[in-house]
Amino acid sequence: MLEALTDKLNQIFRKLSGKGRLSEKDIDEALRQVRLALLEADVNLQVVKSFTARVRERSIGKEVLENLNPAQVVVKIVYDELAAVLGGGQSKLVAASHPPTSIMLVGLQGSGKTTTAAKLALNLRRNGGRPLLIAADTHRPAAMEQLAILGKQLDIPVYREEKTTTAPQLCQNGLKNAQETLATWVIVDTAGRLHIDEAMMEELREIKQQIKPTEILLVVDAMTGQDAVRVAEDFHKQVGITGLILTKMDGDARGGAALSIRSVTGVPIKFLGVGEKLDALEPFYPDRLASRILGMGDVVTLVEKAQEVMDEKKAKELEKKLKSATFDLEDFLGQLQDIKKMGSISQMLEMIPGMSGMAKKLPTGVDDNQLKKVEAIIRSMTPWERRNTPLIDGSRRKRIARGSGTTPQDVNQLLNQFTQVQKLIKDMGKKKYPDVSGMFRRM
């Protein structure tokens, strides 16, 4: 979402680094460009003013102007201030002293509230919780049915009532059910409207009074820009929200809401929705997003994603195969499936320092489409063929192409590329100190 801002900031810092020693005039000109870049990204004007003022105050000191690498110091200052604007440290969900912990999700229609409820439940279960979803949106047609379907997909219980009842009463009944079933977390999906009105707010206040939630999280569409900030302010005044979940952070809008909403409302961002899949909800770390915005990558999140999908035993077996150069297409297929669970290739490249430029060069969807094609070709092979790629002759290649809906040329390309990878792995195993960076470039 914020890649346009990242590009502009990187251009500004490259100009600074080319100057060697910096003057106060150089810093003022750079900050003027930073101010324009932030405003173009739809960041709130007051946030931009206070941000650039703090950066300038720290940047015109003796420590920066007389430093041998002043541009690097300025980048560090910008990083620190960006992280501060985004909220400083991570803000986690607060658990009740006695379970279950109740979480109310509020927001306007179209913000992704119902899907986010399911995503949040999955996140809590992965961290050892026993969540229960309460379908309390009694206004939108099929809202309860949608949540029930999502719950079934994830094997997470959903409390709903077929008979007509008020939303506050339904939530109270759902909370009793959570206590009886020993759920540790209760997530209430409330009704939204196309715009804020008194009837919606009154219903939310009644639900709040009935279940006394530990957390009231506003689900807001990050692509709506400054409207997202105004919506957050209104909800906070009316019902007192404790946290924010920004959805559609993988979209192509300017994304200034992410940089404005904490400063304007004083309410912490707790999660980011980064995709349509039900596991595409990330805890929000201000320092990590600041790092991504400045093109520094986010290795910590990448490692965490890898740890979620990688099995330690499988990893050790794979390491042995790589060392003995017996890595085959059967192993590669397993790795491919793990990579798909982590997200798209472009998303992963953006998390690697210095690789965000490569991610932007990938045409939209090309990485996912290419992976699907490769997977289809490998799945069309027999287990014997996957283990013995050099022995796949012309007739087998034609059969594999027909079975995968590709061409013999596609099959030939994959086999040739995989042969090169096997050779690189073998060469690497022979060297005591392998040229890893060179190997990476060739791969």
CATH number at residue 365: 1.10.260.30
Where does a domain end: 294, 311, 327? 294
Both 327 and 305 in a single domain?
A: yes
Both 49 and 26 in a single domain?
A: yes
Give the per-residue pLDDT at 366.
Answer: 47
Both 227 and 355 in a single domain?
A: no
The position carrying tokens 């689900």 is 219
Higher-scoring residue by pLDDT: 152, 421: 152
CATH number at residue 68: 1.20.120.140
Least-confidence region, from 59-68, 211-220, 331-340, 391-400: 59-68
Query: What is the C-alpha separation between 44 and 32, in angstroms, rounded?
Result: 16
Q: What's the domain count of the chain? A: 3
Q: Which residues contact 193 (CB under 8 A, 6 or more apart)?
A: 108, 109, 139, 199, 200
First to last CA, the chain: 29
Could you give the 3-state DSSP secondary structure of residue 62? helix
Where does a domain end: 19, 50, 85? 85
pLDDT at 321 over 80: no
Both 380 and 434 in a single domain?
A: yes
Higher-scoring residue by pLDDT: 15, 157: 157
Full DSSP string of 183-222:
-SEEEEE----SS--HHHHHHHHHHHHHH--SEEEEEEEG
pTM: 0.69
Higher-scoring residue by pLDDT: 86, 131: 131
Q: Which DSSP state fits 227?
A: H
Q: Which residues contact 107 (CB under 8 A, 6 or more apart)?
A: 113, 192, 218, 219, 220, 231, 235
Among residues 52, 81, 82, 46, the alpha carbon closest in space to that of 264 is found at 46
Give the per-residue pLDDT at 8.
Answer: 83
Higher-scoring residue by pLDDT: 297, 274: 274
pLDDT at 299 over 60: no
Residue type, 389: T
> Where in the sequence is the domain holding 268, given as residue range(s)?
101-294
Both 254 and 382 in a single domain?
A: no
Average pLDDT score, the chain: 82
Both 111 and 75 in a single domain?
A: no
CATH number at residue 272: 3.40.50.300
pLDDT in tens, 162-215: 776 789 999 999 999 999 999 999 999 998 887 888 888 999 999 999 999 999
Query: What is the C-alpha separation between 278 and 119, in angstroms, rounded?
Result: 5
Confidence of residue 249 (pLDDT cuts 50, 70, 90): confident
Phi-psi region of 202 (alpha: psi -120 to 50; beta: other; left: phi over 0): alpha
pLDDT at 383 over 70: yes
Residue 338 lies in a domain: yes
Higher-scoring residue by pLDDT: 182, 354: 182
Where does a domain end: 244, 268, 294? 294
Both 331 and 407 in a single domain?
A: yes
pLDDT in tens, 10-46: 888 888 777 777 788 888 888 899 899 888 888 888 9
Both 356 and 283 in a single domain?
A: no
Give the per-residue pLDDT at 377.
Answer: 92
Residue 325 lies in a domain: yes
Residue 150 lies in a domain: yes
Alpha helices in 41-166 (DSSP H): 45-59, 62-65, 70-85, 113-126, 143-154
Residue 133's DSSP bridge partners are 158, 187
Give the per-residue pLDDT at 307.
Answer: 61
